[in-house]
């Protein structure tokens, strides 16, 4: 298991995600998951936010896999 965290230089891209998905609205936590999915190369996440991650796609077309829904 990998536990990853965004770096300060990632904040501009996370801000862009929050603007892009403002209609959800996307918060900083969701934007960090979107960013890290792209950096890590997979969309496996753990989030209680079911709605947003059914809508969002990482790398603009890959669906997320929320590990909480697999329990």
Instruction: Give the DSSP per-residue string, 3-66.
Output: -----GGGHHHHHHHHHHTTTS---HHHHHHHHHHHHHT--EE--S-HHHHHH-EETTTEEPEE
What total of structural domains would you count in the chain?
1
Residues sharing a CB contact under 8 Å with residue 37, sequence separation 6 or more, in sequence order: 43, 44, 45, 58, 59, 62, 64
Rounded Cα distance, 8 and 13, in Å: 10
pTM exceeds cut of 0.85: no
Q: Which domain holds residue 25?
A: 8-70
Q: Which residue has the higher pLDDT, 60 or 10?
A: 10
Indicate the pLDDT class of residue 16, thresholds 50, 70 and 90.
very high
């Amino acid at each position: 298991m990998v536990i990853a965290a965004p770096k300060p230089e990632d904040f501009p891209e996370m801000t862009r995600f929050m603007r892009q998905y403002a209609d959800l609205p996307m918060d900083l936590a969701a934007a960090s998951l979107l960013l890290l999915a792209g950096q890590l190369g997979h969309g496996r996440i753990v989030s209680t936010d079911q709605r947003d991650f059914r809508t969002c796609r990482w790398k603009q077309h890959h669906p997320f896999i929320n590990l909480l829904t697999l329990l």
